[in-house]
Structure 1
Amino acid sequence: MIADLTRLLPDLLAAERARFTAEHPRSVAMAKAAGAHWRGGAPMHWMNDWASPSPIFAVQGVGAQITDVDGKLYDDFCLGDTPSMFGHGDPSVAAAVADQIKRGAGFMLPTPSAAIVGKLLSERFGLPLWQAATTASDANRAAIRWARAVTGRPVILVFDGCYHGMVDDAFVVLKDGAPVMKPGLLGQVQDLTTTTRVVPFNDLAALEAALAPGDVAAVLAEPVMTNCGMILPEPGFLEALRRLTREAGTLLVIDETHTISTGPGGYTRAHGLEPDVFVLGKAVAGGVPAAVWGVTAELSARMDAAQQRIGPGQSGIGTTLSGNALAMAAMRAMLSEVMTETAYGKMLAGAERLVAGLNAVIAARKPPWSVVHVGARVELVFADPPPKNAAQMRKVLDHEAVEALHLWLMNRGVLIAPFHNMMLVSPVTEDAAIDRLVAAVDGFAAAMGEME
């Protein structure tokens, strides 16, 4: 077993940081120059959340690889944290976007592609009626607002450790068993714990008790938790979630922004879930900012009734960029030509190869690690067995070890998502790239073992 490495990890990190800086002079220089105009040296603060001393400046992505300004090539298992899940620069999407941009990016009017996209969404995911948003955050916010409007209830229920984009209502966690606002929720002046209830994932007793007062408008949930380390549902949990929400008159919103890796119809279709609202962002437009959310016919009728009470154009839900022509063209290409059964078959086979390789490393090196995966998304967890809720995950999440693994991989030409140890396989990810990732993880495990 790997011993307590708190004394020795700083030396490994220092060596890997020095190596990165020496091998990435142009990225380091660009980050310094960008710092004069961008806060933190990047257009978005998450671009600084990688383990490297400064961000890698990307030049292009082709398939499942990225090239940076220093000419280094990376096997990309982050894939934009899902938007590029089917590979960078897909020809079908590129052609559709190029054609549409010449004819206009947005008109605040539907296009012929919109009619086709709506039909494709309904056929694929099973919900009959849809709306567009610009991000999954926007879609989740819309779902929450409508849930409160149609039920007349104030409370939203989420699971501890969840992440549903930049949705304030979801930034409530459990600390020592009590709900508190997440420390990262800067600038929020309202006490969200009065309108957001939070319970542990996989805890049916807590869920039932939280629904009992009859004031919960909706449960907002991923079918598999993916942002505090991957946490799978216990057998029967999701079925019970659906039953309990129906009994309580509570809507169920399933956010499949990450779990769309499960299959062509997401986790919902693969496992027969029956949400009232289905949310999908990121990958649906191949990297063009877009999201969609679908509703049942019954919920749509209730939404119509709520709209009639206030009159047209007064909901304050949605933006003028939502459903723009460029996004619709990209979604049409993705849904009809890219997100195919064949593509998913390749992704799932690649993920199985990755899982087998990582398990082989664990078997050979004997670290107290485990592997969890859903579809094409794979997580290396620094615990065995893997945690069943966020509280358990927080206890085993070694931030310094995670940082060390990420930087180790980057220095060996492999990128994984900068948040915990999440990896994503695309249909164009080559077996050789998977093998290189496994070999790099093996090297890291060996280095950690040598520190014992």
Structure 2
Amino acid sequence: MAEAHARERHGVDPARIAELRAREAERYRRTRRRTEAAIGEGAPGYFGGVPMHWMRDWPMPFPLVIERAKGATITDIDGNQLDDFCLGDTGSMFGHSPVAVSKAIRRQAKRGLTYMLPSEDTLVVGRLLEETFGLPIWQVATTATDANRFALRVARAITNRPKILVFNGCYHGAVDETFVRLRDGKPINRPGLAGEFRDYTQQTRIVEFNDLAALEHELADRDVACVITEPVLTNSSMVLPEPGFHEGLRELTRRFGTLLLIDETHTISSGLGGYTRKHGLEPDLFVLGKPIAGGVPASIWGMSAEVAARYTDYNRKKEPGYSGMGTTLSANPLQFAAMRATLEQVMTAENYAHMEKLAARLERGLAKTIARYRLPWHVVRVGARVEFICAPGPLKNGGEAEAAHAPELEAAIHVALVNRGALIAPFHNMMLASPATERPQVDRLVAAFGDIAERLAT
């Protein structure tokens, strides 16, 4: 019964998926003997054999061990070269080690890495952030998780409201109170949280993305300090906003005195200034992590002039003491050197045009393959970000996105793509085109996807 349902939903016989995955796993092992010897049983000294647990989430029999990465190509220690469309899950969205960023890192390394005081680059980056993203006032952190935490703290402080609201299926890093999901229409803590003893549903409200009626109902009590959202759901099967959704979201938050935080950490793929600038959104707070410093850990969070004024007034009146926002390495000079190089020379309109052109080519190629083999799948694109989803679409909300996942099928495809020289993101079927990506790389990925689809469908 379950197998019949899976085939009906995803269009592929489960036995065929298992056969493909087993065959591709063996092929992967044969071409990575050195890697298997190094990490097949786990790297010594690390819990679970890896320095970060999600390195075990890749679907290969054992993780790749990378020797070098440059542009849109990575090479493992067995000498296998891969066209990289994962790009550090957006962390290297503009390619590995952009020349301008590499030069800035080398220059700053001679001047000191951290000293808790501004550098000359600091004086330039503030202006560049306003020019690029629109908001006038900024702070710097080290991860998007930190930036989101700090921005939410400010929102609660200036509104004097306890609650936040998220959309089902959201992802905002490791911000505790965003780990809420809907199950059978009821809020619950996200399954799988380690060591969690708090009930986040007491302070976090949750509705489905694109559901303005539910949003209005949850904001009506006027106890929600902030709605935090990506402009497009990305850390599930990708869900686009329906026409009028963002306009309605902004109108409702303003009507009920709730602040709006837009987290662009993934949707910065949309274009220069992110989805916010491209589509004229008007957030009160704005967060961007991962690619802002070309791969150096850094994040930014911005606020409107009104929010900044309210926060200034709050600080003037509050009891003296630690704000709960900090981290010693945040806003270090290495971050500013890398951010300046990224904003001035890498995150440019010209580079985005190149990225979008290649991403559109990838989208067309994948969609043609899906149509050729009559698979009940679809393709979604947001600027330079492309995903194939092994279920019918378009998807309307996080609940549908969760149901669209086909873990075994997706894992088999991912390993098969690696064996054909293409790496995509491990957690979803996400692919990015970078300024360093070239047309032949896109065509090779489309051809590899076609070969795999043929094996699955015929």
Task: Give TM-score scaled by structure 1 length.
Answer: 0.98
Q: Which residue is 1:342 aligned to?
A: 350
Contact 1:168 1:185 in 2 (8 A): no
Match of 2:152 among 144, 162, 185: 144
| Residue matched to 1:229 | 237
SS in 2 for 1:279: strand
1:82–1:283 CA contact under 8 A, matched in 2: yes
1:49 aligns with 2:57: yes
Q: State the secondary structure of the residue aligned to 1:273.
A: coil
Question: Which runs of structure 2 are paired with 1:236-385 in the superposition (5 Å)?
Answer: 236-311=244-319, 314-385=322-393
Deviations 1:340-378 (A, max 9, x none): 111001000011110111111122111111110100000
Aligned partners of 1:349 and 1:233: how far apart in 2?
22
- Count of residues in correspondence between the two structures: 450
Trace 1:141-220 onto structure 2 (pairs within 5 A). 141-220=149-228
Conserved? CA contact 2:169–2:402, under 8 Å: no
State the identity %: 54
Question: Is 1:108–2:108 an aligned residue pair?
Answer: no
1:72-131 CA distances to partner (integer Å, 9 max, x unpaired)?
000000000011111112110001011101110111011111110000001111100000
Following superposition, the deviation at residue 33 of structure 1 comes to 6.4
- Alpha-carbon distance in 2 for matches of 1:358, 1:35: 36
Q: What's the Cα RMSD here?
A: 1.2
What is the distance in 1 between the residues matched to 2:142 and 2:11?
46
For residue 353 of structure 2, what is the amino acid of its counterpart? G
Cα distance in 2 between the residues matched to 1:19 and 1:372: 30
The one of 126, 143, 161 equivalent to 1:135 is 143
Say whether the 8 Å CA contact 2:210–2:245 is kept in structure 1: yes
Counterpart residue number, 1:64: 72
Deviations along 1:35-54, one digit per CA (max 9) or x if unpaired, are 33111222111111111011
Q: Structure 1: which 5+ residue stretches go unaligned?
A: none
Q: Which moved more, 1:242-251 or 1:177-186?
A: 177-186
1:125 paired with 2:125, answer no
Q: Is the partner of 2:14 in helix, strand or coil?
A: coil
Query: Which deviates more, 105-114 or 308-317?
Result: 308-317
Q: Name the amino acid aligned to 1:300.
A: A
- Looking at structure 2, the residues matched to 101 and 44 of structure 1 have their Cα atoms a distance apart, in angstroms, of 26
Q: Counterparts of 1:228 and 1:241 in 2: how far apart (Å)?
A: 21
Report the secondary structure of 2:165's partner residue: strand
C-alpha deviations, 1:219-241, integer Å up to 9, x for none?
A: 00000010011100000001100
The answer to whether the 8 A contact 2:97-2:295 is kept is no
Letter in 2 for 1:304: T
TM-score, normalised to structure 2, is: 0.96
Q: How does 1:83-94 map to 2 (within 5 A)?
A: 83-94=91-102
Which 4+ runs in 1 deviate beyond 3 A? 1-4, 32-35
CA distance in structure 2 between the partners assigned to 1:86 and 1:355 by the alignment? 19
Match in the other structure for 1:395: 403
Deviation at 1:396, TM superposition (A): 2.4
Q: How far apart in 2 are the matches of 1:34 and 1:359?
A: 38
Separation in 1, partners of 2:24, 2:333 = 45
C-alpha contact 1:217 1:251 (8 A) present in aligned 2: yes
Matched to 1:226, the amino acid is: T
